[in-house]
């Protein structure tokens, strides 16, 4: 694939996602596929919930226009797994779903691409590699699902991460991975226009699950070449650093508080930033900036010598650790005492 074809993939996905979303919104309203206001949410009116469909269709259209992408069996497996999670997410958004069934669906989606030969390969033992691959896919998928707690947050982070995967893959000469990444980026950014406050369309679990799944698969599909194994492993972890950071922060804090890590709550990093005085929109922009910073560091790691790459990764780790420590001291119980707080979901 030449550079023009790769760029076309981005703009096809962007255009389809942007133009399709309003029609999807009308369909959602007609079939009453809406997210109704609840005590733990701040939107005042029922909001259409089918945004994940527009993201998936835009991604699929962009990929199918390029024979070099769609003809690859791992890509076909990724699309199949994505469709499975889309269906699961749609059912969950409409009727609700037991967490165990939702987890089973993610396990099956992970199995589809593992059976197609896509797995973490730096671990020599096959069975251990498969186990770590399951953990990676399900972990990243759920991290984006958890991040969908403010308008524009999950989709924006997914778009930024996919965009940096696309740049790095192109720099490494991986045209197919670059195009696939940019298809995800375009689908996310096209939807984003309709998801910022006041959002006219939510992507729901259907959207957040498929974005997390796609990015976990792209991270494995790409060959993130660097001077040594350590820095090569840093690249996908840096690009997906914020979802990993947020999930880790929430898990640690809930464990320390004696709560289940699977219990929902207003204790994510976005909520904590809001309690520090950032309005929801500004909190989202701050998180975007952090994601861009991590993406730039990832590019730096690919271009410098091994030792310097390690130092860059350590620097990014220290920055995120410092942020995590600062946010950990925020009293999230204040949300229970604040009506219409800046950081409530959606």
- H or E segment and range at residue 12: helix 3-30
Cα–Cα distance, 119 to 132 (Å, whole number)? 9
Please tell me the predicted confidence (pLDDT) of residue 304.
83
Cα–Cα distance, 162 to 140 (Å, whole number)? 13
pLDDT category of residue 344 using cuts at 50, 70 and 90? very low
Residue 47 φ/ψ, nearest 5 degrees: -125, 135
Please report, rounded to a whole number, the percentage of residues in the chain having pLDDT higher than 70. 93
Mean pLDDT of 48-75: 93
pLDDT > 80? residue 36: no
- If one compares 264 and 214, the residue with the highest pLDDT of the two is 214
Three-class SS state of 345: strand
Q: Which residues contact 213 (CB under 8 A, 6 or more apart)?
A: 81, 82, 85, 106, 109, 137, 140, 141
Q: Which residues contact 30 (CB under 8 A, 6 or more apart)?
A: none
Query: pLDDT tens digits, residue range 203-218?
Result: 999 999 999 999 999 9
Please tell me the predicted confidence (pLDDT) of residue 339.
40
Omega cis (within 30) before 257: no
Domain ranges of the chain: 8-337
Q: Which residues contact 39 (CB under 8 A, 6 or more apart)?
A: none
pLDDT > 80? residue 196: yes
Residue 68 region, left (φ>0) first, then alpha (ψ -120 to 50), else beta?
Answer: alpha
Please tell me the predicted confidence (pLDDT) of residue 128.
96
Query: pLDDT tens digits, residue range 85-138?
Result: 999 999 999 888 888 899 999 999 999 999 999 999 888 899 999 999 999 999
Please tell me the predicted confidence (pLDDT) of residue 122.
87
pLDDT category of residue 44 using cuts at 50, 70 and 90? low
Q: Which residues contact 239 (CB under 8 A, 6 or more apart)?
A: 161, 164, 165, 168, 219, 294, 295, 298
Mean pLDDT of the chain: 89
- If one compares 72 and 163, the residue with the highest pLDDT of the two is 163
Mean pLDDT of 333-343: 48
pLDDT > 70? residue 226: no
Taking alpha carbons only, the member of 137, 157, 140, 138 closest to residue 203 is 157
| DSSP secondary structure of 14-54 | HHHHHHHHHHHHHHHHHTT-EE---TTB--SS-EE--HHHH
Query: pLDDT tens digits, residue range 276-317?
Result: 988 888 999 999 999 999 999 999 998 887 788 889 999 999
Angle subtended at Cα 295 by Cα 345 and Cα 137, rounded to the nearest 5 degrees: 65
Q: Give, as one character, the DSSP assignment of residue 119.
A: -
């Amino acid at each position: 694939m030449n550079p023009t074809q790769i760029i076309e993939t981005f703009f096809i996905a962007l255009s389809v996602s942007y133009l399709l979303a309003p029609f999807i919104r009308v369909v959602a309203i007609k079939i009453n596929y809406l997210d109704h206001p609840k005590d733990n949410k701040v939107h005042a009116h029922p909001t259409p919930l089918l945004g994940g469909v527009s993201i998936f269709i835009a991604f699929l259209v962009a990929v199918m226009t390029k024979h070099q992408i769609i003809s690859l069996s791992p890509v076909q497996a990724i699309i199949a797994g994505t469709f499975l999670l889309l269906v699961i997410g749609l059912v969950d958004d409409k009727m609700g779903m037991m967490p165990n069934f939702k987890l089973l669906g993610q396990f099956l989606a992970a199995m589809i691409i593992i059976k197609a030969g896509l797995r973490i390969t730096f671990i020599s033992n096959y069975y251990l590699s498969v186990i770590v691959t399951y953990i990676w896919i399900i972990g990243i998928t759920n991290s984006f699902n958890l991040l969908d707690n403010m308008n524009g947050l999950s989709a924006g982070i997914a778009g930024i991460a996919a965009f940096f995967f696309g740049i790095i893959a192109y720099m490494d000469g991986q045209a197919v991975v670059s195009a696939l990444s940019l298809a995800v980026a375009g689908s996310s950014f096209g939807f984003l226009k309709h998801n910022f406050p006041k959002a006219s369309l939510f992507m729901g679990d259907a959207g957040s699950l498929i974005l997390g799944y796609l990015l976990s698969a792209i991270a494995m599909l790409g060959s993130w070449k660097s001077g040594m194994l350590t820095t090569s492993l840093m690249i996908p972890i840096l690009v997906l650093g914020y979802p990993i950071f947020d999930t880790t922060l929430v898990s640690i804090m809930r464990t320390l508080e004696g709560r289940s890590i699977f219990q929902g709550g207003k204790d994510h990093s976005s909520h904590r930033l809001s309690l520090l005085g950032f309005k929801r929109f500004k909190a989202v922009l701050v998180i975007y900036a952090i994601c861009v910073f991590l993406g730039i560091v990832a590019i730096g790691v690919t271009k410098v010598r091994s030792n310097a790459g390690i130092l860059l990764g350590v620097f990014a780790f220290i920055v995120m650790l410092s942020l995590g420590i600062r946010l950990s001291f925020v009293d999230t119980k204040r949300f229970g005492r604040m009506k219409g707080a800046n950081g409530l979901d959606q």
